[in-house]
Each structure stands twice: as structure tokens, then as C-alpha cells.
């Protein structure tokens, strides 16, 4: 019986993988060693990476590394248990206080922040903690997979509005809001695959008009736009976004996720978010690193201005629409074309990863080019020239 079950499983897996391969959607884990700066070692070659979310280069910053080492030496390699058992390291308080200052919730009804094990875990926990049967979620159609995951776990009704279309969001709310108990309007502050920004202030106005709670995922906005404070500040919506979520693994250069909100909401989430209650706490090194990185984001205005400046240098060089964030998509259409372009750039000494469905919609495979404060302007311009020479982009 066991042999029959395993054979059918193997047959199923092989058949599904054959379908994936036929669509040029096979994913391969490629060992990649990140060194100093933005040089990576992959497949025996050294490449300049334009695919990393380390937007400020803080994962390699001496102060951040020293803080991670110091935290490990003092508290050990692991947390040992859930935050509710023995894993609530004293460093959590420092990290959460910094997040609350940066995101503007420190003075919001005694508000603050709460840190989760990752951004994905945050969204899997926060959304079901706030909504349930009979409630409504109105989300941008391009919101991240973890936002969809948390929404489904909540059992609320989920309706999607066209990407960044505030009028469509308003139409849905006008038709559906009164039929449901509570309501979230959800968007990414900076969209992870397109690099464009959400119209946060207009969404905040619409949400408030319909007694809905605006939820922004600022994973790719913190440390990059709005003087490093993220999408609400960048769009003039300070104090108008009751639920600001994000990660510590991108511009912060460490690991973890967070929610910034008022004190009462945070208390409810602490009591109901299963991904917080039942997950082991973060390693002390991640907390030490995050604390040091957030201090730099708070205090170094020149640093946080660099990723967007580098991205705009690239878009100007290729006559593309001006970058709105550190992410610039180069749209190529079909998966095979995107894979081919990524291979050409790798042969030219650059790592620029191809993004294909299901991460992005069918027909929109692309190169996702990301920029860091650590990039030299000369390397940015060399990448742009390589894309022109290879006819990946024809300005």
C-alpha cells in the first residue's frame, strides 16, 4: 500500500512539473553568495546584482553587522520559544519604538508597532485577527500573495479593484460596504513587481468615507520613499492610514515583519494573530541588526534618497517613465523572452532576474531591476548601455 501511494505521488509530481516546464515556468534554486557591496558569486561567475531588495545596502553595513554580532554574543543564536513564552527579547521594544517613530504611530492613541517573524507571517496573522465571516476586503488586484493568503484565512468576502484605480475601489465600496460588518481596503505602498506607488491619500479618503480601514503593505517603501518613512508620508497622508504593515528584510537589511497602528488595535492583534502567538521569536541577531539599520534610516537623509536617485538615473538613460521607487520593471511579455534577456545580461556580468507567472499576470513576464544606495552610478549606466546593446530595451 505504501509503495502504491508513493508511486502515485511521484507520477503526479512528474506530470505537474512537465506542465510547468512546457510553459517555461520552471523555477531553479541557484546558490548565490553575496559578497561585499553588490557583487555576487553565481555559477562560478562574479556578477553585479540588480536583483536584490537590500535597497540601502544595510545588510552589509558595518554598524548593522556589529549590532547583529553583539546581539548574538549577548543573547545567543536563537530565541528559544514564542514571544509569549520565553522569546520576547528586550531588543523587540527598541525595534518597535523606532518603527513607531518612523511610521508616525508613536503618538497615535499611545500607538506603536509589533514585530512578527516575517512579512508573510505578519499578513497571515493580522488580517484574520481583524476580520471574519460577514466582513469585506477590497484589495488592489496586484497586491502581494501574502495579502491574498491572509485575506483567505480571514473568511471575509474578497473583492478586487483594478490596479491603482481609486474610482473602481469607490464603486465597489458604494455597492458592497453596507452589506458587511467591518471592511479593509488593502494595497501595497510600492508594488513589488511594478515599482509604482499606490494613491494612498485618495484611498484613505475613500476608505474613511465608507467606514473602512486602510491597510498598506510598505515592504518596498520603508527606507526608500517619503524620506524613508514610506508611502503614507510620501503621499501626504500622515496619520490617515490606520494599519501600516511592512518588513525588516528589504531596506532594513535584516529579517522580520511589523504592524504599526494605534494601541488598542495592536493589543487585539497581539491576542488574536496566530502567526505571532504560535511562532518562535526572531533570532537576536535579526533584532540587533534591525535596530541599528532603523537608526540609520531615521538619521541619514542622504542615504535614503539614493535608491530612487539611482533608479531614475537608469530610467533617464533608457528614456523609460521616471522611476517611482527603487524597482523598475522592463516588460518583455512571454517567459521565454524574459529568461533569454536575463541570460544575456548574466553573460555580460549582471544579475537581473526574470519574473514570470504566477508571480505576475500572464503576458507580463519581465526583468525586475532593483537599485540600491550601494550601486555606483557608473554601473547603473553600464547596465543601461548593455540593455541597449542587447536590444532588450530600445529607447
Position 351 scores a pLDDT of: 96
Q: Residue 333 and residue 367: Cα distance in Å, rounded?
A: 10
In a domain, 159, yes or no: yes
Q: Residue 157 and residue 136: Cα distance in Å, rounded?
A: 5
In a domain, 165, yes or no: yes
Asked if residue 295 and residue 252 are part of one domain, the reply reads yes
Asked if residue 165 and residue 311 are part of one domain, the reply reads no
Position 1 scores a pLDDT of: 46
Position 113 scores a pLDDT of: 98
Asked if residue 28 and residue 88 are part of one domain, the reply reads no
Which of 280, 299, 318 represents a domain boundary (last residue)?
A: 299
Which of 282, 299, 316 represents a domain boundary (last residue)?
A: 299
Asked if residue 240 and residue 209 are part of one domain, the reply reads yes
In a domain, 179, yes or no: yes
Which residues are CB-contacts of 39 (< 8 A; sequence separation ≥ 6)?
46, 47, 48, 49
Give yes or no for a contact between 218 and 229, defined as CB atoms under 8 angstroms apart.
no
Q: Residue 388 and residue 369: Cα distance in Å, rounded?
A: 15
In a domain, 13, yes or no: no
Number of domains in the chain: 2
Sheet with 39-42, side-by-side order of all strands:
32-34, 39-42, 45-49, 350-351
* CATH number of the domain where residue 160 is located: 3.40.640.10
Asked if residue 305 and residue 242 are part of one domain, the reply reads no
Asked if residue 194 and residue 333 are part of one domain, the reply reads no
Which of 299, 329, 364 represents a domain boundary (last residue)?
A: 299
Asked if residue 191 and residue 45 are part of one domain, the reply reads no
Q: What is the pTM of this model?
A: 0.93
Asked if residue 285 and residue 147 are part of one domain, the reply reads yes
Position 162 scores a pLDDT of: 98
- Write the secondary structure of 208-242 as one string of H (helix), E (strand) and C (coil): HHCCCEEEEECCCCCCCCCCCCCHHHHCCCCCCCC
User: What are the angstrom distances between the C-alpha of 14 and each of 9, 18, 19, 29?
Assistant: 9, 6, 9, 18
User: What are the angstrom distances between the C-alpha of 86 and each of 83, 96, 271?
Assistant: 6, 18, 17
In a domain, 2, yes or no: no
Q: Residue 155 and residue 178: Cα distance in Å, rounded?
A: 18
List the catalytic residues: 53, 144, 188, 192, 217, 220, 250
Q: Residue 320 and residue 186: Cα distance in Å, rounded?
A: 28
Give the sign of the dihedral formed by CA 327, CA 331, CA 336, CA 338. negative
**Residue-by-residue pLDDT tens, the chain, 395 positions:** 455 567 888 889 999 999 999 988 888 888 888 887 789 998 889 999 999 999 999 999 999 999 999 999 999 999 999 999 999 999 999 999 999 999 999 876 779 999 999 999 999 999 999 999 999 999 999 999 999 999 999 999 999 999 999 999 999 999 999 999 999 999 999 999 999 999 999 999 999 999 999 999 999 999 999 999 999 999 999 999 999 999 999 999 999 999 999 999 999 999 999 999 999 999 999 999 999 999 999 999 999 999 999 999 999 999 999 999 999 999 999 999 999 999 999 999 999 999 999 999 999 999 999 999 999 999 999 999 999 999 999 87
Asked if residue 277 and residue 240 are part of one domain, the reply reads yes
Asked if residue 264 and residue 125 are part of one domain, the reply reads yes
In a domain, 12, yes or no: no
Position 34 scores a pLDDT of: 85
Q: Which string of DSSP letters, residue by residue, matches 119-164?
A: HHHHHHHHHHHH--TT-EEEEETT--HHHHHHHHHHT-EEEEEPTT
- How crowded is the C-beta side of 82, counted as CA atoms within 13 Å? 10
Asked if residue 288 and residue 348 are part of one domain, the reply reads no
As to burial, measured by CB atoms within 10 angstroms (0-12 exposed, 13-18 middle, 19+ buried), residue 21 is exposed
In a domain, 245, yes or no: yes
Sheet with 354-355, side-by-side order of all strands:
327-333, 365-370, 354-355
Structural domain that includes position 346 = 23-52+301-389
Q: Residue 130 and residue 122: Cα distance in Å, rounded?
A: 12
* CATH number of the domain where residue 326 is located: 3.90.1150.10
Cα 131 from chain centre: 22
Position 74 scores a pLDDT of: 98
In a domain, 373, yes or no: yes
Asked if residue 222 and residue 133 are part of one domain, the reply reads yes
Residue 270 sits at φ, ψ, to 5 deg, of -60, -30
Position 110 scores a pLDDT of: 77
Amino acid at each position: 500500500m505504501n509503495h502504491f501511494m508513493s508511486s502515485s505521488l511521484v507520477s503526479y509530481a512528474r506530470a505537474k512539473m512537465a506542465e510547468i516546464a512546457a510553459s517555461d515556468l520552471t523555477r531553479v534554486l541557484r546558490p548565490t553568495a553575496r559578497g561585499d557591496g553588490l557583487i555576487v558569486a553565481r555559477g562560478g561567475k562574479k556578477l553585479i546584482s540588480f536583483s536584490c531588495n537590500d535597497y540601502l545596502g544595510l545588510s552589509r553595513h558595518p554598524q548593522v553587522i556589529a549590532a547583529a554580532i553583539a546581539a548574538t554574543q549577548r543573547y545567543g543564536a536563537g530565541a528559544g520559544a514564542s514571544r509569549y513564552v520565553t522569546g520576547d527579547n528586550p531588543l523587540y521594544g527598541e525595534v518597535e519604538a523606532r518603527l513607531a517613530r518612523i511610521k508616525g504611530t508613536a503618538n497615535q492613541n499611545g500607538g506603536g508597532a509589533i514585530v512578527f517573524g516575517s512579512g508573510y507571517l505578519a499578513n497571515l496573522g493580522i488580517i484574520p485577527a481583524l476580520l471574519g465571516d460577514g466582513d469585506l476586503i477590497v484589495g488592489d488586484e496586484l497586491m502581494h500573495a501574502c495579502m491574498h493568503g491572509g485575506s483567505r484565512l480571514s473568511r471575509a468576502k474578497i473583492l478586487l479593484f483594478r490596479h491603482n484605480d481609486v474610482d473602481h475601489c469607490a464603486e465597489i465600496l458604494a455597492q458592497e460596504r453596507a452589506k458587511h460588518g467591518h471592511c479593509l481596503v488593502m494595497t501595497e505602498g510600492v508594488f513589488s513587481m511594478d515599482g509604482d506607488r499606490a494613491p494612498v491619500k485618495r484611498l484613505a479618503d475613500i476608505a474613511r468615507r465608507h467606514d473602512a480601514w486602510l491597510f498598506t503593505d510598505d515592504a518596498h517603501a520603508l527606507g526608500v520613499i517619503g524620506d524613508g518613512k514610506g508611502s503614507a508620508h510620501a503621499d501626504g497622508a500622515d496619520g490617515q492610514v490606520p494599519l501600516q504593515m511592512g518588513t525588516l528584510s528589504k531596506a532594513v537589511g535584516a529579517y522580520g515583519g511589523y504592524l504599526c497602528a494605534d494601541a488598542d488595535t495592536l493589543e487585539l492583534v497581539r491576542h488574536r494573530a496566530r502567526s505571532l502567538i504560535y511562532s518562535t521569536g526572531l533570532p537576536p541577531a535579526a533584532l540587533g541588526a534591525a535596530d541599528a539599520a532603523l537608526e540609520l534610516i531615521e538619521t541619514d537623509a542622504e542615504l535614503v534618497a539614493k535608491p530612487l536617485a539611482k533608479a531614475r538615473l537608469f530610467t533617464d538613460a533608457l528614456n523609460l517613465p521616471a522611476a517611482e521607487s527603487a524597482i523598475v520593471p522592463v516588460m518583455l511579455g512571454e517567459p521565454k523572452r524574459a529568461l533569454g534577456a536575463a541570460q544575456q545580461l548574466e553573460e555580460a556580468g549582471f544579475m537581473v532576474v526574470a519574473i514570470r507567472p504566477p508571480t505576475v499576470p500572464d503576458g507580463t513576464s519581465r526583468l525586475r531591476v532593483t537599485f540600491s544606495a550601494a550601486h555606483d552610478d557608473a554601473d547603473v549606466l553600464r547596465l543601461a548601455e548593455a540593455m541597449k546593446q542587447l536590444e532588450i530595451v530600445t529607447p
